Amino acid sequence: MNLPGRNINPHISVDCVIFGFSTNQLKVLLIKRAYTNSSGRLSNDHKLPGDFIAINEDLDQAASRTLEELTGLKDIYLQQFAFFGKPDRISKRMDIAWLNETTGHKIQRVVTAAYYSLINITDTNSDFAIKNNATWIDVKQVPDLAFDHATIISNGLAHLQLTLRNEPIGFELLPEKFTIRELQILYEVILDCTLDNRNFRKKILKSTYMVQMEEKQRGVAHKPAYYYRFDRNIYEKYKKESLGFNF
C-alpha cells in the first residue's frame, strides 16, 4: 500500500491477480506479508497485490496504479472480473490487525473489486518487485494466503480460461516473437489439457492476425521452426470474423 496522505476509502479496495508465463508455468505475482501484531504473533504468509482506492480515483485507476507500483509497467492488459463482499471475508484476527495498522483506520468490512492482468514477465522491472517483497509463484503451488485471496485467484483463473477460448489474449503473456509450439504449450498449461498438434496448428494458421516472420529458431536440436507475431491491428479489424479458440 502506497497512498500519500492515506486519503482513502477504507471500505472499498482492489485486488489484482497478475498472471505471467515462464518456464512452461503459469505464475501469479504474490506479496510476502511479514507482520507481527501487538501480541507478538507473527504472520508470515502471502497476499495478492492490492490497495484501497483513493478518494479521488476510480476502481480502474486504483488497479492500474497497483500494477505500475509492482511491475513498473503501464497500459497492460487489465480486466475486472468480480466483486467480493461477504461479511466474513475479513474475519481472521491477524488480517484485521494488519489492516488497522497499515491503514490507520479501524476496519470492520471491505468490499473488493477483483482484476486479473496478463503481462510478459521479461518486461517487468525486478527492482519494483523486490521493493514490495513480491515474487512469482506457480499458480499450482500457491501457498497459504491472507483473507479470501485463494478464492480470488481461483475465480481469476476460471475467467482467464474462459476468455482465452474466445479471444487471443494469450499473446499478452508471450514475447513479441514466438513459435506455434510455444503458443500451444501456453494454451495447454492455462487450460490444463492436451491439444491435438495438427488441429491447433491448422486453427492458428487460419488466423489472419498470426503473421509469420522470416526468422527461424537457432541452436535447436530439432528442425528450426519459424517465429510468428501477433498483429493487433489486423485482429481488431477482423475481430467480428474471428472464430475464437474453441478447442
Longest dimension (CA), the chain: 64
Does residue 69 carry a pLDDT above 80? Answer: yes
Distances (CA, A) of 72 to 64, 122, 232, 237: 11, 12, 23, 30
Measured from the Cβ of residue 219, the count of other Cβ atoms closer than 10 Å reads 5
Mapped onto helix, strand or coil, the DSSP state of residue 128 is helix
| Residue of higher predicted confidence among 97 and 148 | 148
| Residue of higher predicted confidence among 93 and 40 | 93
Does residue 235 carry a pLDDT above 90? Answer: no
Confidence of residue 219 (pLDDT cuts 50, 70, 90): confident
Query: In the numeric block, which cell numbers belong to residue 14?
Result: 482492489
Cβ(118)–Cβ(19) below 8 Å: yes
Residue 242 is predicted with a pLDDT of: 53
- Rg of the chain over Cα atoms, rounded to whole angstroms, equals 20
Q: Could you give the CA distance from residue 10 to residue 111 in angstroms, rounded to a whole number?
A: 9
**Range with the poorest average pLDDT among 26-30, 34-38, 180-184, 229-233:** 34-38
The CATH class of 4-164 is alpha beta
Cβ(80)–Cβ(72) below 8 Å: no
Residue with cell 508470515: 44
Ranges of beta strands (E only) in 55-181 are 77-84, 111-118, 134-138
Residue 73 is predicted with a pLDDT of: 87
Residue 224 is predicted with a pLDDT of: 83
CATH of domain 176-241: 1.10.10.10
Instruction: Please report, as a single letter, which amino acid is at residue 61.
Output: Q
Give the bridge partners for 212, in sequence order. 228
Residue 41 is predicted with a pLDDT of: 60
Mean local confidence (pLDDT), 127-137: 85
Which of these, 172, 182, 154, lies nearest to 230 by C-alpha position? 172
Per-domain boundaries in the chain: 4-164, 176-241
Residue with cell 480470488: 152
Residue with cell 488480517: 95
pLDDT tens-digit series, residues 150-187: 999 999 999 999 999 988 899 999 999 999 999 999 99
Cβ(80)–Cβ(67) below 8 Å: no
Between strands 8-22 and 111-118, the pairing is parallel
Cβ(110)–Cβ(95) below 8 Å: no
Q: Could you give the CA distance from residue 110 to residue 53 in angstroms, rounded to a whole number?
A: 11
HSE toward the beta carbon, residue 140, CA cutoff 13 A: 8
Residue with cell 501477433: 230
Residue 6 is predicted with a pLDDT of: 55
Between strands 111-118 and 77-84, the pairing is antiparallel
Could you tell me the pTM of the whole model? 0.89
Does residue 4 carry a pLDDT above 50? Answer: no
Are 4-164 and 176-241 the same fold in CATH? no
Residue 5 is predicted with a pLDDT of: 47
